[in-house]
Amino acid sequence: VRYMWETLNDMSQNELRLFLHFVWGRSRLPPDGSPKWAEGFKVVSQTTTSDPDQWLPTAHTCFFQLDLPAYSSKEVCKQRILFAIEHCVSLG
């Protein structure tokens, strides 16, 4: 999870918008105090049956949740997150 936060810290504003759209399905966060926040943003360790570096993160936009594999390095984490946010979005 630390690699994810470091990756987010290094992202451009456009990449952060793509990340938000990937995990939330929207381009903006809800206002403070909104019931849409529910339990806030959750990061869950994604269990994999093989090398986690080969897996992409999975988003659950209805729950504002990211399932994140246990990547071996920050570089792998950054590559996988960037690929996911740029290529794996199906919501309009």
Torsion of CA 37, 78, 8, 3, to 10 degrees: 90
From the candidates 49, 62, 87, 90, give the one annotated as an active-site residue.
62
62 in catalytic set: yes
C-alpha closest to that of 46 among 84, 16, 12:
84
Known catalytic residues?
Answer: 62
